[in-house]
Amino acid sequence: MFSRILTIAAQEIRIGIRNRWILLATVILAVFSLALALLGSAPAGTLGVDRLTITVASLASLSVYLVPLIALLLAFDAVCGEVERGTLLMTFSCPISRPEFLIGKAIGHTLVLTFALVIGYGLTAGLLVASGAGSLTGLIDFSRLIATSVLLGVCFLAIGYVLSSLTRQSGTAAAAAIAAWLIMVVLYDLALLGALVANPSGVFASKVFPYAVLLNPADAFRLFNLAALGASDLVGGMAGVAETLPFDPVLALVSLLVFAGMALGLSTLLIRKITP
């Protein structure tokens, strides 16, 4: 079983290399993280923290937009693309189950995303440390950011697999993936903000909003990382919210794990019903 899963994973990594997905994702993450590191030099002296910590705080907000988008673009045609190309029937004619096929895809895509994050963000961390602008605490914060970014990516990879299993054409799946990114990363927050503005001291603000944040993996990711940094003085926003929550911010990390597990489970159920 493991050899079949690893074969699918290796194939996805080769596709990522051939289509320059790894290079593109790495360059995007590196460019944005370097830009934030340079922009973060100004407040470092004022706040009394190193530039590495400020960069991590900024990347925790930026990653909410970049990582889900990269993950969805990796996963949107994982199933329907195979159907379109006629390779899914050939794959399932081999002694491999559909869950094994999907797990292999997930492992391969996760490794591609992990490589891009480690290299893209790691270059920035290395440059800051080499220039004397980083610290051991900052490196720990950076490592936590990369690890949780991978987990966030897995959540959206799973969403991509669900959408890919529900459609039969890559174009439709791509449109659905962009719509999912827009709804979960942009519109969801706008809806929460609108509800808070409409009733800032009512039941929604005190009882509903804190748990609504946990339901969205993007918000849960940002909440956990900014709370772990104690970053209310650095970026405000969600970091300030973390200080007033009725639960431990670690619950946000748990919600990411639960969401990833449930979404992967759903995609596994859906792929069982596909007839190539």
> In whole angstroms, what is the distance from residue 4 CA to residue 126 CA?
37
Q: Report yes or no: 188 and 238 within 8 Å, Cβ to Cβ.
A: no
Distance CA 69, CA 66 (A): 5
Which single residue is written with the structure tokens 């669900």? Answer: 162
Residue ranges of the chain whose pLDDT lies below 70: 40-50, 133-134, 231-246, 275-276
| Number of domains composing the chain | 1
Contact (Cβ atoms closer than 8 angstroms) between residue 124 and residue 52:
no
Range of the domain at 141: 2-272
Cα separation, 57 vs 230, in Å, equals 9
pLDDT of residue 133: 67
In this predicted structure, what is the pLDDT of residue 82? Answer: 85
What integer pLDDT is reported at residue 23 of this predicted model? 87
What pLDDT, on the 0 to 100 scale, is given for residue 229?
79
Two structure tokens written together for 222: 């940002």
Cβ-Cβ contacts under 8 Å for 62 (sequence gap 6 or more) = 32, 33, 36
